[in-house]
Amino acid sequence: MPHLSVPAAHHTKPTGFRAALEALNFFMADMQAGIGPFLGIFLLAHQWKSGAIGTVMTLGGVAGVLVTIPAGALIDQTKRKKLYVIIPGVCTVLASAVILLSQNFWIVGLSQVATAIAGAAIVPAVMAITLGLVKQKGFNRQNGRNQAWNHAGNMVGAGLSGYLGMVYGMHAIFYLSAAFGVISIILVSTIPASAIDDRAARGMKAGKDDANDTSSYKELLECKPLLMLAGALACFHLGNGAMLPMYGLGAASQGNSNASMFVAMTIVIAQLVMIGASIVAMRSADKSGYWLVMLLSFLSLPIRGLVAASLNYHIGLYPVQALDGIGAGLQSVAVPALVAHILNGTGRINVGQGAVMTVQGVGAALSPAIGGWLAQSMGFKPAFMVLGSFAVISIFIWVYYSKTLRNVCDHGHKH
C-alpha cells in the first residue's frame, strides 16, 4: 500500500490539517445532500405532484451541470481554493431559509438553482485541497478516508434529520442542514492556505508552466479513457439519480405515517454500506486497480431496480439501499482517483474532475424528472425497472472497452 506522502516542510502539521479535512467531509456531506431527499417529502406535504417535484429538482441539477466545468477551471487557476467551499456553505444556509419561507414553484426552483451553482465547485475544490495537502502519491489513501467520513456524515445527518422531522416537523431538517453549512465554513477556514501546494492540487509536473493554453482543454476531449468513464457514469446516473427520491415518494404515497423517518432510514442504510464500500474500494485499488471496482458499481443498479420493483417498501428498503451504498460507495473513491491518474501531469485535474462531473451530472439532473413523470404515468414499480435498466449501457461500455480501460484503471498509467 502507498504511504501517505506530505512535503517535508509540513511534517509536523499536516496530520491536524488532514483531520480538519476529514471533519469537513463529514459535515459538508449533509450540507450537500441533507435537504435533497427530504425536499420531495416536504413539497408533497404542501400538495405538490411527483412530476413537479422531479422537475424542480432537475432545474437545480441542470444549473449545476452547466457551471461544473468552469468551476473546475477556476479551481485549477485560483490559489483561494477554500473560497469554493465557503460559498456553497453560505448558499446552503440561504436556500434553507428561502424554502421555509415560501413553497412557490419558482422560488423553490431558484433556490435549488442557486445552491447547485454554488455547490458545483465544492467537490473539485475538496479534491484539489486534498491533492494539495498529500500529493498524487497519497491521494488514493486520503480520498478513501475522506469518502468514508463523507458517507458517515450523510448517515448521521440523515438519522438526525429523520428524528428531528418526526419529533419537530420537516422544518427542523432545514435548520439542521443550515447548521452543518456553518460548521463546514468554520472547518475549512482552519486549514491554512500555505499548507496547500497549488501545483500539486492541479496535477502539474515539476518545472511545467501554468496550463493556460487551449491545448489542455483539447487534451481532455481527446482522452479516450476519460470520455469512456464519463459516458458510462452518465448512463448510470440517468437511472440512479431518481431512485432514492422516487423510493421515498413511493413509500409516502402508500400512506407511510412517518415519511421523514422512512426517507432517513433509506439514507442511513445506504451510507452505512458506503462507508464499508469506500474502504474496500481504497484497499482493492492498492492491490489490483479500479476496473473491477467500477464494474461492480455499475452492476448494482439493474439489480437495485429489480428489487425495488419486486418487493414492498418495508421489506425492500434494506436490499434496495444496500445496493445503492455499494454502487455509490465504490464510485466515490474510484472516480476521483481515476481522473487524477488519467490527467496527472496535465495541470488540468480539477477541470477534468469538473468535466466528468458535468457529463454524469447530465444524467443525474435528468433522472428526477424522468423518474417523476414515469411514476406519475406508469406507477412507481415500473419506474424503478426503467431507471435500473439505464446502467446496462454503462456495463456494456465498461466491458466492450475493457482493454483500454484496464490499462488506466489497473495500472494508473496515462493514456
State residue 137's pLDDT score: 80
Residue 296 located in a structural domain: yes
Can you spell out the DSSP letters for 192-225? -GGGS-HHHHHTBPTTPPP--STHHHHHHHH-HH
3-state secondary structure of 80: coil
Domain count of the fold of the chain? 1
State residue 1's pLDDT score: 39
Q: How confident is the model at residue 32 (pLDDT cuts 50, 70, 90)?
A: low
Report the percentage of the chain scoring pLDDT > 70: 87
Residue 6 located in a structural domain: no
Whole-angstrom distance, CA of residue 28 vs CA of residue 39:
18
Whole-angstrom distance, CA of residue 85 vs CA of residue 123:
8
Residue 2 located in a structural domain: no
Contact 144, 245 (CB under 8 A): no
Positive or negative torsion for Cα 350, 355, 358, 359: negative
Residue 1 located in a structural domain: no
State residue 78's pLDDT score: 80
State residue 301's pLDDT score: 94
Residue 361 located in a structural domain: yes
Residue 207 located in a structural domain: no
pLDDT at 207 over 60: no
| DSSP-assigned beta bridge partners for residue 204 | 345, 346
Q: How confident is the model at residue 41 (pLDDT cuts 50, 70, 90)?
A: confident
Assign residue 262 the CATH number of its domain.
Answer: 1.20.1250.20
3-state secondary structure of 231: helix
**45-65 b/e (C-beta count within 10 Å ≥ 16 → b):** eeebebbbbbbbbbbbbbbbb
Whole-angstrom distance, CA of residue 307 vs CA of residue 27:
31
Residue 414 located in a structural domain: no
Q: Domain range for residue 112?
A: 12-202+213-409
Interval 212-251: pLDDT, tens: 544 456 767 778 888 889 899 999 999 998 887 777 777 7
The secondary element (H helix, E strand) that includes residue 265 is helix 259-288
Residue 415 located in a structural domain: no
| Distances 415 to 76, 123, 293, 294, 322 between C-alpha atoms, Å | 21, 24, 20, 18, 34
Interval 267-316: pLDDT, tens: 778 888 988 888 888 888 777 788 888 999 999 999 999 998 888 777 87
Please choose, from the candidates 215, 253, 230, 260, the residue with its C-alpha nearest in 3D space to the C-alpha of residue 35. Answer: 260
What integer is the mean pLDDT of 326-350? 84
